[in-house]
Amino acid sequence: MSKEAVCNFLRRCVVYADASINRKKNRDEDTTEIQRWVAYRDFTAYSLSEIERGELDDWFEADGENDRKRPSFFGEPMGDDVENIDTNFMEHPERAAWLSTLIAPRPVVLLSTIGENGVPNLCPVSSVASLSNTPPLIGVSLSQDRSGRPRDTLVNLRNGSKISAMVLPGTWDAAQVVNETASAHPPERSEWDGLSEPIPSPNEYPPYHPLSAAVLECEVVDLHPLPGAVATLAILKVNHILRSDEGTKRGMPPDAETWRPLLTQYGWDRLTSGPDGSAWSFDVRSYRD
């Protein structure tokens, strides 16, 4: 574990201890118990200060190539002894399981659009890819629901709606939001119903969820029906990026290390905090009901 990771953990422990001490004082709890928490808080804060000053640097492994933890592969390297699988003879669930396992992890993004009737729509997707940096283009594949009706998001884009693509943190709460918005609703009903109050965009784009790690505000450049498929590839131009206003805490350009973990799909309907897919998992099942 890195030095910065340990420092972040200890900082959170100190903040949690301060809050617990205040709660116990407000409830007039036993002073002996409060003193134990104060001692824990002070000891943790002192340990943090020692690490930050570099006094315990020899406790941490050197960041050299020979000292880094080397991950192992759970499967078997292929070699020349292979099984030849023809995808043309697969059923859809089997094909989807293979592709979602091998093309992984996939970023999970929550799309916000506005219908012609003024109803705000939400749609979680894992079919997002960065296509170009200049101009800033991303691609999203949008399909249809089980009854064959095009997704409201696609209909809204065809009707001229702008789109806010919310990048989600790799947390259980974010996975629950995805699960709650994954099932199909009639166009007159908003997926926002029952969720946190949407936050208006400062740039006249669809609103975003307060849980978002960042928001990509986009407009449609082109819509391409995918050959032999029911899905359509939406090519979107990113016009604005919204992030938490934290001053100089996160520099520019952004460091990917400071934006972890983000929500990803790792396997069919399995959400986790990428990139290794091993910390925890949440199975999305609402759309199957």
Helices (H), 70-125: 92-102
CA contacts within 13 A on the Cβ side of 142? 26
Q: Where are the domains of the chain?
A: 3-63, 92-243+254-288
Query: Is the separation of the CB atoms in 113 and 152 below 8 Å?
Result: yes
215 vs 141: CA distance, rounded Å: 18
Query: What are the tokens at 285?
Result: 């099942």
pLDDT above 90: residue 29? no
Q: Which residue has the higher pLDDT, 205 or 31?
A: 205
Report if pTM > 0.75. no
β-sheet with 263-265: strand ranges across: 106-107, 263-265, 270-273, 282-283
Q: Residue 198: is it exposed, middle or buried by C-beta count within 10 angstroms (0-12/13-18/19+)?
A: middle
Mean pLDDT of 148-176: 92
129 neighbors 139 (Cβ within 8 angstroms):
yes
Rounded to an integer, what distance in angstroms lies between the CA atom of residue 127 and that of residue 113?
A: 17
The 3-state DSSP class for residue 89 equals helix
Residue whose C-alpha is closest to residue 110's, from 214, 12, 188, 199: 214
Residue 150 CB contacts under 8 Å (≥ 6 apart), including other chains: 142, 144, 232
Where does the pLDDT of residue 276 fall: very low under 50, low under 70, confident under 90, or very high at 90 and above? low
Tokens, residue 249: 């805490």
Question: Measured between alpha carbons, how far is 171 from 70 in angstroms, rounded to an integer?
Answer: 25
Gap between the Cα atoms of 125 and 123, Å rounded:
6
Asked if residue 275 has a cis previous peptide bond (ω within 30° of 0), the answer is: yes
Task: Identify the architecture of domain 92-243+254-288 in CATH.
Answer: Roll (2.30)
pLDDT in tens, 42-73: 899 888 888 877 777 777 765 554 454 555 66
pLDDT in tens, 34-45: 898 999 988 998
pLDDT at 115: 93
Q: How confident is the model at residue 280 (pLDDT cuts 50, 70, 90)?
A: low
H runs (alpha helix) in the chain: 3-26, 31-52, 92-102, 152-158, 172-181
Q: CB of 206 within 8 A of CB of 108?
A: no
Q: What is the DSSP string of 160-194?
A: T--EEEEE-BSSHHHHHHHHHHSS---TTS-TTTT
Q: Where are the alpha helices (DSSP H) in 67-151?
A: 92-102
pLDDT at 11: 86
How high is the pLDDT of residue 61?
Answer: 60
Contact predicate 227/235, CB 8 Å: no
pLDDT for the residue numbered 62: 52
Distance (Å, rounded) from C-alpha 144 to C-alpha 22? 52
Give me Rg for the CA atoms of the chain: 23
Query: Which of 1-15, 144-158, 166-180 has the highest mean predicted lDDT (pLDDT)?
Result: 166-180
Residue 26's pLDDT band (cuts 50, 70, 90): confident
pLDDT higher than threshold 60 for residue 255:
yes
Rounded Cα distance between 146 and 124, Å, is 16
Is 201 exposed, middle or buried, given 0-12, 13-18 or 19+ CB atoms closer than 10 A?
middle
- In this predicted structure, the answer to whether residue 109 has a pLDDT above a threshold of 90 is yes
